[in-house]
Amino acid sequence: MCETDGPASAANNGVAGTQSRPNRSNPYQPVGDHLSNLGRFKIIESTLREGEQFANAYFDTETKIKFAKALDEFGVDYIELTSPAASEASRQDCIAICKLGLKAKILTHVRCDMRDAQMAVDTGVDGLDIVIGTSSFLREHSHGKDMAYITKTALEVIEFVKSKGLEVRFSSEDSFRSDLVDLLSLYSAVDKAGVNRVGIADTVGCASPRQVYDLVRTLRSVVSCDIETHFHNDTGCAIANAYCALEAGATHVDTSVLGIGERNGITPLGGLLARMVVTSPDYVKSKYKLHKIKEIEDMVAEAVEVNTPFNNPITGFCAFTHKAGIHAKAILNNPSTYEILNPEDFGLTRYVHFASRLTGWNAVKTRVGQLGLTMTDDQVKEVTSKIKALADVRPIAIDDADSIIRSFHLTLQENGTSAPHGTNGVAANGIST
């Protein structure tokens, strides 16, 4: 399922033959690693479970149904719900969502406990995500159980869920602070018992990408079932960790919309897809309705009363805004020079910022054209220097820059068509990497 090198496009922006080496359609594609699932991962969308643990979250039944339908339409593979054991309304909501007849499979996330499992099975879900803490921290300070008890209980609950014909995942909590031998022994046992997925959870957000890769790769060699992964974002690595988990052979990634969840949350749905569409564009674009991502994020942001972060991947207000002059020039020539994501894939548009002192004449030239005016390059350079001079004194808006351009153009008309000279030094100097 991995991307393969296509032949170099014949069109290729007309530059065939001018490059010393052939262009590749996507230089970031996986390089034939048969364990990698970068091009065939599945999403377990947990806004209605992990997301409910976000400080501001309160989802009534109507909201939950609205989210579930939107996520289903977006194309997620699974929708995970809060345990029916959490409260009576949680239980009723599980039942209601199971009755919607969505394409996505419905899961609920329950403690490794027979009573919770029974209650979950009775709601009509397609599967149970079972969890128990395995780190010494949690074994001591949370549930107080030892590994023998955990293994025994896990096997009982798994057998029960399987006997009901449902999917079952078994996950540790705080996997990266659990003893490796304990973890592998436990997962090997539940794999043999026929669990559908084992789960690796970075419950506290401490894991680093190469550590994730190593653990998942090791686990991949121990179990034959699918591997689900869950990454908290306390240290800002939740997207990268999910990516490395897929490289190592994980099959499923837990997400929530905008990453909402306990503390500062988990791998965000939109951010993960920003990462994955770069690596596996055909798979991601064919499977998920990417142009819906802003609408879904806005819906969830409104429900939990937060703003979409200014720097959010894809939908942050400036994600496709180019400001430095040298960027603007290249972007206007070919957007892929300074863009790895194409805003059109998400139903969005790019914006080349020209009203600042970092602007360059190429950006201003484009604006002159947008205003329906005609100038020579030297004239554009002269008006660029006027814009930069004002922007040195105070912040300027598009209107300010437009006024300068229009006023300058008027002067040109009054003076006839002669082009001013001597301003070639005003090149694009806003440099960036």
- Find the binding residues for a copy of itself in span 398-427 (CB under 8 A): none
> Which segments of 135-291 are extended strands (E)?
167-173, 197-202, 226-231, 252-255
Of these, 365, 381, 388, 409, which contacts a copy of itself (CB under 8 A)? 388
Residue type, 139: R
Q: Nearest approach, Cβ of 182 to a copy of itself (angstroms)?
A: 9
Task: Return the number of the residue (40 or 419) whose C-beta is nearest a copy of itself.
Answer: 40
CB-CB contact of 284 with 277 (8 Å): yes
Task: Return the number of the residue (329 or 365) whose C-beta is nearest a copy of itself.
Answer: 329
Q: Is 421 a catalytic residue?
A: no
Residue with tokens 């023998």: 148
H-type alpha helices, 310-397: 325-333, 361-370, 377-393
Q: Which two tokens stand for residue 38?
A: 């970068």
CB-CB contact of 123 with 95 (8 Å): yes
**433 binding a copy of itself? (CB under 8 A):** yes
Size of the site for a copy of itself (CB under 8 A): 126
**349 binding a copy of itself? (CB under 8 A):** no
**249 binding a copy of itself? (CB under 8 A):** no
**86 binding a copy of itself? (CB under 8 A):** yes
CB-CB contact of 312 with 258 (8 Å): yes
**127 binding a copy of itself? (CB under 8 A):** no
Near a copy of itself in 172-201, by CB under 8 A: 172-174, 177, 179, 199, 201
Of these, 67, 170, 187, 243, which contacts a copy of itself (CB under 8 A)? 243
Task: Return the number of the residue (110 or 401) whose C-beta is nearest a copy of itself.
Answer: 110
Q: What is the four-CA torsion angle of 412, 417, 422, 428, rounded to 10 degrees?
A: 70
CB atoms within 10 A of CB 18: 8
Q: Which two tokens stand for residue 298?
A: 């806005």
Check 232, 252, 327, 353 and give the catalytic one.
327
H-type alpha helices, 292-417: 293-303, 325-333, 361-370, 377-393, 398-414
Q: Nearest approach, Cβ of 417 to a copy of itself (angstroms)?
A: 30
Near a copy of itself in 3-42, by CB under 8 A: 15, 18-21, 23, 27-28
d(CA 252, CA 246): 8
Near a copy of itself in 202-241, by CB under 8 A: 203-206, 208-211, 213, 230, 233-241
Q: Could you give the string, one character per residue 306-345, with x where binding to a copy of itself holds by CB under 8 A and - elsewhere?
A: xx-xxxxx--xxxxxxxxx-xx-xx--xx-xxxxxx----
Cα–Cα distances in angstroms (integers) from residue 38 to residues 18, 58, 335, in the given order = 32, 34, 25
Task: Return the number of the residue (41 or 213) whose C-beta is nearest a copy of itself.
Answer: 213
Near a copy of itself in 54-73, by CB under 8 A: 54-56, 58, 60
Task: Output phi, psi for 342, to 5 deg.
Answer: -100, 115
Active site residues: 327
